[in-house]
Amino acid sequence: MKSTWKSLRHGLEWLGVRLLGALIPRLPRPFAYQFGRLAGSLAAFFDRPGWRVALSNLEAAFGDRFSAAERERIARESYQQFAGTMIDLFWSPRITAENYYKLIEFKGLEELDRTIGCTNPYIVATCHYGNFEWFSLAAGFAAMPTTIIAQEFKNSRLDPIFNHLRQRSGHQMVTRERAIVRLYKALRRGGRVAILVDLTLHPQRLPTVVIDCFGMKTSVTFAHAWLHSRTGLPIVPVHAEPLPGGRCRVVVHPKLDIPPGATDQEIAQLCWDQFEPIIRENPSPWLWMYKAWRFRPKNAERPYPFYAHSAPRFDARIGR
According to the model, what pLDDT value does residue 22 have? 94
Is 287 strand, coil or helix? coil
For 140, residues 6+ apart whose C-beta sits below 8 A from its C-beta are 146, 168, 169, 170, 171
According to the model, what pLDDT value does residue 1 have? 55
According to the model, what pLDDT value does residue 320 have? 63
According to the model, what pLDDT value does residue 315 have? 86
- Which segments within the chain are labelled E, that is strand? 104-107, 123-126, 147-149, 172-174, 193-196, 208-213, 216-221, 235-242, 248-252
* Gyration radius from the chain CA atoms: 20
According to the model, what pLDDT value does residue 2 have? 52
Please, what is the end-to-end C-alpha distance for the chain in angstroms?
47
Query: What pairing do the DSSP bridges indicate for beta strands 208-213 and 216-221?
Result: antiparallel
Alpha carbon 145 to its chain centroid, in Å, reads 17
pLDDT mean by block of 10 residues, the chain; 320 residues? 75 90 95 97 97 98 97 98 97 95 95 94 96 94 90 86 92 87 95 95 84 96 95 97 95 96 96 98 98 93 94 82
According to the model, what pLDDT value does residue 301 have? 87
Measure the CA–CA gap between 93 and 264, rounded to whole angstroms: 38
Measure the CA–CA gap between 93 and 162, rounded to whole angstroms: 12
Q: Closest by alpha carbon to 40, among 271, 285, 258, 292?
A: 285
Alpha carbon 90 to its chain centroid, in Å, reads 17
* Sheet-wide strand order for 235-242: 104-107, 248-252, 235-242, 123-126, 193-196, 147-149, 172-174
Q: What pTM value is reported for the model?
A: 0.94
One-letter amino acid at 5 equals W
* Residue spans per domain, the chain: 2-318
Partners of 239 in the β-ladder: 251
According to the model, what pLDDT value does residue 319 have? 66
